[in-house]
Amino acid sequence: MTSPSTITMFGADWCRDCIRTKKQLDELGISYTYVDLVVDPAAADVAREISGRTNIPVVVYPDASHHVEPSNADVEAKLRELSLI
């Protein structure tokens, strides 16, 4: 499901934090795989296995680290650390 060279975001269209993070990635021109948990509810189990929590969004980075419900500053800092922006 996830490629090691890409960012994967698990989210849902009813989740305000998901909408905000998705918008941020789009505005920064970051390519990522979006896993819509409304369309693919089983993927919620995958997100929970990664994060150990049921909160979304879960953003998985190419270095295998992840954020759960990250702030825009958290995402930006990680993207800078990975030289993606």
CATH number of the CATH domain containing 54 = 3.40.30.10
Q: Looking at the predicted structure, is the pLDDT value of residue 2 above 70?
A: no
Q: Is residue 13 part of a domain?
A: yes
Note the pTM of the prediction, 2 decimals: 0.92
Q: Report pLDDT digits (tens) over 30-59.
A: 999 999 999 999 999 999 999 999 999 999
Does residue 1 lie within any of the structural domains?
Answer: no
Among 39, 20, 14, which Cα is nearest to 59's? 20
Residue 5: pLDDT over 80: no
30 domain residue, yes or no = yes
Bridge partners of 7, per DSSP, are 32
Q: Tell whether 48 is covered by a domain.
A: yes
- Count of domains observed in the chain: 1
| Average pLDDT taken over every residue of the chain | 94
The conformational region for residue 34 under phi > 0 = left, psi -120 to 50 = alpha, else beta, is beta
Instruction: Inform me whether the pLDDT recorded for 27 exceeds 90.
Output: yes
Residue range(s) defining the domain that contains residue 61: 7-82
Residue 15 lies in a domain: yes
